[in-house]
Structure 1
Amino acid sequence: MDSLGSDFGNQNTKRSIIELVKYGFWGAVTTALNLFAFFLLEGLGMYYITANVLSYIFAVIINYILNQKFVFKSSSQNDYKQFVKFIIVRIVSLLIDSGLFYLLVSILSFNVNLSRILLSITIIVATFGVNKLFVFNTKKR
């Protein structure tokens, strides 16, 4: 029985590692799209916080689709409920991201582009566990 429990634990660990790698890959793709949209909008003269919010919304929609289809392979019977949870997580992360972005750029005078890149990486890492456990419920498999 011990070896079965150990095998099950190893399979869950392997699945989590594979999910993390896929999440990182698709997160990088989404982040590239987010950054491209941000730099484009900000380069066109849009206020950096507004550009951040618009590019973030665009990236969140794409990220949900990629996570659902390719990372967590969710077969949720209630996609609407799952999407609402995903949006709640992303709204909270957007608020935190925007607050930190404002702090770094407007108060601490950090470079806008460097701040955007560093915060994007931080958000990817921070939201993996929340998406895995709260949104896509992969711990129940």
Structure 2
Amino acid sequence: MITLFNRGKALLEAHHLWNVFTYVFFGGLTTVVNIVVFAGATHVGISWQVSNFLAWLLSVLFAFVTNKLWVFNSHTESFSALVWEFAKFMFARVVSLGIDYACMFLFINAIGWSNMVAKILTQIVIIVANYAFSKFIIFKNKPTD
């Protein structure tokens, strides 16, 4: 099983797709966290707006750890560098939260779709935006001397 994994990883790395694969995998898990928290919160009677924020908050914390450690293999030299990386991550996620709320409002209030359909479709948009933010701004490879 490990040999199959290593072959698959080598093939994806040869085509520069390993980061995309790991992002999709952990992004999928992050999306599950987001949707489960949202569904649970709305199920107990919390408004979609508050449920969406709770789902965002928990999924962002999960995403930072997985993106840093396993997707982009980011290593920070100091605590201040870690704080700066986290600040950039949070800023980008706040931007994507704005996109999230705009899509949710459009799909629920303007179009009239159900909360869960809106949530799932919105997550597709968010995954793409967050990958771009993470790849090109937050965890970008630093040049070596």
| Paired position in structure 2 for 1:55 | 55
**Is the partner of 2:133 in helix, strand or coil?**
helix
Which stretch has the larger CA shift, 117-126 or 85-94? 117-126
- 1:44 and 1:27 map into 2 onto residues whose CA distance is 26
2:106 to 98, 103, 107: 103
Distance change in 2, residues 1:39/1:81 (3 Å): same
> Which letter maps to 2:48?
Y
Which stretch has the larger CA shift, 55-64 or 104-113? 104-113
**Structure of higher RCO (CA pairs closer than 8 Å, 6+ residues apart):** 1
Identity %: 27
Structure 1 residue runs without a partner (length 5+)? 1-12
Q: Which structure's residues are more often helix, by fraction?
A: 1
Normalised TM-score (structure 1): 0.86
> Which letter maps to 1:129?
A
| Paired position in structure 1 for 2:76 | 76
| Paired position in structure 2 for 1:8 | none
2:120 to 83, 101, 117: 117
Cα deviations across residues 113-135 of structure 1 (Å, max 9, x unaligned)?
11100111211112112101100
- 2:136 and 2:31 map into 1 onto residues whose CA distance is 21
**Is the partner of 2:41 in helix, strand or coil?**
helix
Normalised TM-score (structure 2): 0.84
| Paired position in structure 2 for 1:19 | 19
